[in-house]
Structure 1
């Protein structure tokens, strides 16, 4: 798309309901596939994406008004005569390409300020919600996913032309969670374990339909197809983690690692970035160990024993890299292992120290993980990627 098109596309009236990166990713998929699909097919997919990802109907209406300049205009009775160009000077593909390329410039739709009853309520959390409100809000989020076809792949979809029996949604959930009769959702009946369990289960169940088509016979409605777990889970984590954060719940769904899609303890941005780098940049021979250590440490039910195990896993990786560390730190490398050897962390000898606050375990874990990440960088600098000419 040229510079003129980028300038003429006005984004000021559009607001995001999705992470910008997800809109860009799904939009790029549509554009790549558009060369292999019919004109109407890519337009339908783009319309569905715009309808989902942007607030209101303004963007979808603007897209609908533009001509599809890629489509055949052989029909003399067509409402879009050959060579017609919109007043904005672009067709559907150029407009959509501009939207996707500039997704990061879109502002997110903001929730309205609290209304009178919400401002006057007592006994609420910092954002005006109670634990029960949070559970109801979660049920509402699941309902929105269901309404957009994100549960069709596992729960099925009714059709006036198909009288096959659909899967029992309660049974599907029971198979995952081991708790019967949880569908339809009844948030007022959940205890904390059930609530958190459902958060994790629906992460694994959702899948985004990239295609939908209307079935008008008998008022049947929309049917959905081409399901993909990846984008659905990204969107689900984004929405649910936002809900948990606003409710002051100090857990979030993990976005990567062995515990992907499971609730883990929230950390600050710097440590979250450290975890992300350690998970994604570790050499293949240590990736499994790093993933397991992080999962042991950050689980929402992590005990002191599991944190010790996490530190042991990291210490074992560092022991394998001891020569590299000694080369860079000299004799000071011994201090790194003295902590693990003298305290009740690795060998569990009778002469080791074990009386310390659990905060000590947190400190040593983050120190060791940062050292693993540092040695990852040192290893990578020794083995730069081969450039292919």
Structure 2
């Protein structure tokens, strides 16, 4: 009998749930069950999955006891449970079939929202987005994702906790930002906090409940990688819903910084250029991409990004000429004749900034093409 997944909804990105689940399954000590329970609590909506997991025996009954001779014994497994399965088997199947899990969806808009009256008291979408962001941070804090940098109170530990406002101020240069007061933020502060908390969050993979005087949960074994993936997912979704044309970069020199949104094809090109390039040029490509797509990018920084890519192509000019013949010269004629690289008086500078976008993506695509040509030559 296969595991029934119909009652489970995934709140995390599938790949993150799989990677953290596989790590839990590799855990050899006795705490793996607590880690698995915490993972299911975080990653899946509601408590159904946790209840089903806890209902499964820690070891298959047939490994430790003989079958019952009672003909009236109940043999039908409960929800999410199947006969002869232990908790390790149960979680293994759930992880292996994670692609089948439905993702938890926001409820369909209610009447006030459909009538355009569900944003905020002052009708400001921007302020509402900032409050939603503050709620995201509150959720991360409640789950212990800020405990590594902000510390946690404990009735048995009188040590003074770090000043959270000072932690943020040292990074952002703005005092008194904790606790969060979204109504007081201007746009620069809001976007700055989005980037700061990306660097601060860290997922606790274990937790224990301190019952003395109802002290509460204490978290440990922190890792920032999973936390940042989850944080980018939630914040980028918020930015998308608010119509803000930025997202947190998932890779590159500007990892965790707000960058201009591109279409899926260009995002895929950036990913290939960053991950498939030779180590000798990867740093330069990272720098060029960061210069071009930053939220505060300028025409001058876009020119610098293009010049960086043109330098890489210049080094591969012999390869391009061999593959393209005399047509390879067209690549460099644009960079040389327009006000991009040499910046001479006779160069043309009267062009729209959209030209910079076009030439950047053309050059980055050509760098990726040369990567493929080099790989083909090596393979042959």
TM-score w.r.t. structure 1 length? 0.91
Q: Which residue of 2 aligns with 1:19?
A: 13
1:45 aligns with 2:40: no
Q: Which residue of 1 aligns with 2:154?
A: 159
In structure 2, relative to structure 1, the CA distance for the partners of 1:122 and 1:45 (3 Å cut) is closer
Distance 2:205 2:117 in 1: 43
Deviations 1:313-367 (A, max 9, x none): 0000000000111110011100111010000111111111000000000000000
Deviations 1:75-96 (A, max 9, x none): xxxxxx6779982122111110
Select 1:139's aligned residue among 124, 127, 134. 134
Alignment of structure 1 residues 123-272 onto 2, 5 Å: 130-272=125-267
In structure 2, relative to structure 1, the CA distance for the partners of 1:124 and 1:146 (3 Å cut) is closer
State whether residues 308 and 361 of structure 1, in contact with CA within 8 Å, keep that contact through their aligned partners in structure 2.
yes
In structure 2, relative to structure 1, the CA distance for the partners of 1:229 and 1:86 (3 Å cut) is farther
Alignment of structure 1 residues 14-93 onto 2, 5 Å: 14-33=8-27, 36-38=28-30, 41-69=31-59, 87=77, 88-89=82-83, 90-93=85-88
In structure 2, relative to structure 1, the CA distance for the partners of 1:234 and 1:86 (3 Å cut) is farther
Q: Which residue of 2 aligns with 1:77?
A: none
Alignment of structure 1 residues 318-329 onto 2, 5 Å: 318-329=313-324
Distance 2:106 2:124 in 1: 14
Distance 2:177 2:3 in 1: 46
Q: CA deviation at 1:381?
A: 1.7
Distance 2:11 2:334 in 1: 48
In structure 2, relative to structure 1, the CA distance for the partners of 1:129 and 1:374 (3 Å cut) is farther
3-state DSSP of counterpart to 1:357: coil
Select 1:107's aligned residue among 96, 102, 105. 102
Q: CA deviation at 1:105?
A: 1.3
In structure 2, relative to structure 1, the CA distance for the partners of 1:335 and 1:97 (3 Å cut) is same
Q: CA deviation at 1:123?
A: 10
Distance 1:287 1:86 in 2: 57
Deviations 1:37-89 (A, max 9, x none): 12xx1111000000000000011100010001179x98xxxxxx677998212
Deviations 1:285-340 (A, max 9, x none): 00000000000000011100000000000000000000111110011100111010
1:311 aligns with 2:303: no
Distance 1:123 1:316 in 2: 52
Aligned residue pairs, count: 367
Unaligned 5+ segments in structure 2 are: 69-74
In structure 2, relative to structure 1, the CA distance for the partners of 1:83 and 1:294 (3 Å cut) is farther
In structure 2, relative to structure 1, the CA distance for the partners of 1:42 and 1:328 (3 Å cut) is same
Distance 2:42 2:124 in 1: 26
1:288 aligns with 2:283: yes
Distance 2:348 2:153 in 1: 63
Unaligned 5+ segments in structure 1 are: 1-6, 75-80
Select 1:348's aligned residue among 322, 325, 343. 343
State whether residues 340 and 346 of structure 1, in contact with CA within 8 Å, keep that contact through their aligned partners in structure 2.
yes
Q: CA deviation at 1:120?
A: 2.2
Q: Which residue of 2 aligns with 1:4?
A: none
Aligned-pair Cα RMSD in Å: 2.0
3-state DSSP of counterpart to 1:346: coil
Deviations 1:363-383 (A, max 9, x none): 000000000001111111222
3-state DSSP of counterpart to 2:321: helix
